Amino acid sequence: MQIERLFDAHQHALFRYLARYTGDPDLAEDLVQETFVRLHRRPPKDLGATRAWLFTVGTNLARDVLRQHKRRRGLLDHSPGRAPVGDGPMAPEETAVRADVAQRVQAALAQLDDRDRIMLLMREEGFTHAEIAREVGTTTKSVGTMIARALDRLARTLPLDAEDRP
C-alpha cells in the first residue's frame, strides 16, 4: 500500500468532511493527519474499502475530540475563574454574507443528531448508500428515506432570511 497515493487521493475530501463535521478547519487538519497516521500503522484488512475506512476513523476521532471539548467546556463553565473560555474558531476571511450563511448552516447541522449529520455529510462527499448504511448501522434500502428525513430536519432548523429564499 502506498500511503502517499492514498493521501493524495483522499485527503481533500476527508478534510472537507471533517471541517464540516467539526466546524473547525484547524481541528479537521489535525484529524486528517491522525487518520493517515493510523492508516499507516494499521491499514484495513480490505484495501478496497480504504476510503470508507478513512472516513470512519476520521469520524470516530472527531467524535472523541468533540466529546472531550464538551467535557472541558463544562468543567470550565463550573469554574470560570480558572481559565478563559473562547467562542471557538474564527470564521475564515470571507464576505460577511458568506460567513453568516456558513455559520447558520453549521449551527443547523450541529442541531441534528449525530446519525443525521453523518449521513448528510457522507452523502455530500459522494459516498454510496451502501457505505453510508455500514457507517450508521442500517440497511442500504433505508438510507434514501433516512437522508430525505434528515434533509427535512435540517431545513426546519435552518433559519433563512428573506434574501436567502428563492
Residue 74, pLDDT > 80, answer: no
Verdict on whether the full-model pTM lies above 0.85: no
Q: What is the pLDDT of residue 77?
A: 58
Segment 59-63 shows an average pLDDT of 92
Report the b/e string of 134-149 with b at 16+ CB within 10 A: bbbebeeeebeebbee
The amino acid present at 108, given as its one-letter code, is: A
CATH fold group of domain 91-160? Arc Repressor Mutant, subunit A (1.10.10)
Segment 44-50 shows an average pLDDT of 81
Q: What is the pLDDT of residue 55?
A: 93
In the chain, what percentage of residues exceed pLDDT 70? 80
Per the CB < 8 A criterion, the answer to whether 71 and 59 are in contact is no
Same fold, 1-90 and 91-160: no
Distances (CA, A) of 14 to 28, 77, 136: 8, 32, 17
Q: 3.30.70, 3.30.559, 3.40.50, 1.10.1740: which CATH number matches 1-90?
A: 1.10.1740
Q: Where are the domains of the chain?
A: 1-90, 91-160
DSSP states along 111-158: HS-HHHHHHHHHHHTT--HHHHHHHHTS-HHHHHHHHHHHHHHHHHH-
Own/partner contacts of 133-137, CB < 8 Å, gap of 24 or more, are: 134/52, 135/52, 135/55, 135/56, 135/59
Q: What is the pLDDT of residue 98?
A: 72
Question: pLDDT, tens digit, for every residue of 3-32?
Answer: 888 999 999 999 999 999 998 899 999 999
CA distance 142 to 159: 28
Sign of CA dihedral 9, 34, 31, 42: positive
Record the cell numbers describing residue 46, joined without a space.
Answer: 480490505
Q: What is the pLDDT of residue 84?
A: 45
Q: What number of other Cβ atoms are within 10 A of residue 153's Cβ?
A: 16
